[in-house]
Amino acid sequence: MSRLAPTALAAVLAALAVTAPALAQTDAAAPAELSVAEQCAQIAGAPSAEVPISADAQKAMFARLAEARSACEAAATEGDGAALFHIATIAQARGRHDEALDLYGQAAEAGIAAAHSRIGDYYNFGIGRTRPDVEKALASYRAGIEQGDPAAQTTLGMMHVLGRGVSRDSDRAIALLGEAADSGYHFAQARLAALLLETRASDAASVTRARTLLASAAGQGSLDALSQLPDLFARDLPGLPPSPFQRFYWTARAVDAGLPDALAARGLLHEFGIGTTVNPERAADDYIAALETGEVDADTLRRGPDGNTPRWTRETALAFQRILQDRGLYRGPLDAIVGGGTMAAARAVANN
In the chain, where are the structural domains located?
A: 1-147, 152-242, 261-352
Yes or no: say if 144 and 120 are a contact pair by the CB < 8 Å rule: yes
Residue 216 vs residues 40, 121, 148, 247: alpha-carbon distances, Å: 30, 26, 20, 17
Q: Is 245 exposed, middle or buried (0-12, 13-18, 19+ CB in 10 A)?
A: exposed
- Alpha-carbon gap, residue 1 to 130, rounded angstroms: 18
Residue 30 vs residues 40, 43, 145, 324: alpha-carbon distances, Å: 10, 10, 35, 60
Yes or no: say if 179 and 202 are a contact pair by the CB < 8 Å rule: no
Strand partners, 240: 237
3-state secondary structure of 276: coil
Note down pLDDT in tens along the chain; length 352 residues. 443 333 333 343 344 344 333 333 444 444 558 999 999 999 999 999 999 999 999 999 999 999 999 999 999 999 999 999 999 999 999 999 999 999 999 999 999 999 999 999 999 999 999 999 999 999 999 999 999 999 999 999 999 999 999 999 999 999 999 999 999 999 999 999 999 999 999 999 999 999 999 999 999 999 999 999 999 999 999 999 999 999 999 999 999 999 999 999 999 999 999 999 999 999 999 999 999 999 999 999 999 999 999 999 999 999 999 999 999 999 999 999 999 999 999 999 999 8
Output the pLDDT for position 32: 57
Yes or no: say if 305 and 262 are a contact pair by the CB < 8 Å rule: no
Q: Is 80 exposed, middle or buried (0-12, 13-18, 19+ CB in 10 A)?
A: buried
**Alpha-carbon torsion (138, 144, 147, 150), positive or negative:** negative
- Alpha-carbon gap, residue 102 to 85, rounded angstroms: 10
As assigned by CATH, the class of the 152-242 domain is mainly alpha
Output the pLDDT for position 352: 85
Q: 237 — phi, psi (to 5°)? A: -115, 155
* pTM of this structure: 0.87
132 Cβ partners below 8 Å, 6+ apart? 123, 124, 125, 126
DSSP structure string for 69-84:
HHHHHHHHHTT-HHHH
- Alpha-carbon gap, residue 342 to 333, rounded angstroms: 10
- Alpha-carbon gap, residue 115 to 135, rounded angstroms: 17
